[in-house]
Amino acid sequence: MRVRSSAGVVWGLLVLVGVLLTGCQSPSAGVAEDGRLGGPESGSTAAGSAPATRPSGYGAVFLAVDECSSFGTTSFTEVPCAGERAAARVVARHDGTVRDGPRCPATTDFVLHISEQRPSSDEDGDGAVPQGYACMRNLQPPHPGDPGGGGGPRTIVGDCVYSSGDEQVRETSCDGKGRPEPEYKVTEAVARRADCPVTTALYVRLGGERPVGCARPL
């Protein structure tokens, strides 16, 4: 029986810097309540960054639920969801840090971390923006947060993983079109390892009420 654990993370940082993260963990690592890796017990890998942006003022709360963010590899802004610049919709929005706040929905494609902004003067009407995070869902496919999608901030039932060495695993798409190819598939989420079926070859740490993922070889 092989024992490993995994969590896939994608971060986007607004206002000061946007970061998309993916990650993996070893059996001794911990998973924050949002399903991501972080802190002294885990590791993560940055995939991109963005310069500071200012909120556009489309709602009373910057990037509230059902509001949309723009496309962009260098920055994200709030835009009307019906506009041609709209790329992703907010499915959940929380103040504070991801580590201390509620978990994003299971099929979240990525997370935007919103830095606190409290301007000394509000000449442009933007107002203060508290620290928080927005759980985002792309308006159009692909959806890396879907089961087997190969990404998203959480590892869920239906996701596939591969061995990345050093007793670690990472998510990859189950369709085999991505690289590396999948080696295991999470088929069930249970409360204890003993509840996994006998065909289980890998335990994946998922977090939440059913923190153990039972994965079979492909």
Contact 216, 182 (CB under 8 A): no
- Alpha-carbon span 175 to 50, nearest angstrom: 31
In angstroms, the CA 119 to CA 101 distance is 25
Global model pTM greater than 0.85:
no
Given a cut of 50, whether residue 56 has pLDDT beyond it is no
pLDDT band at 62 (very low <50, low <70, confident <90, very high): confident
Residue range 165-192, pLDDT digits in tens? 777 888 999 998 877 899 999 999 999 9
Q: Which region among 31-35, 95-99, 100-104 has the lowest average model confidence (pLDDT)?
A: 31-35
pLDDT of residue 119: 59
Q: Token pair of 71, please?
A: 């496309």
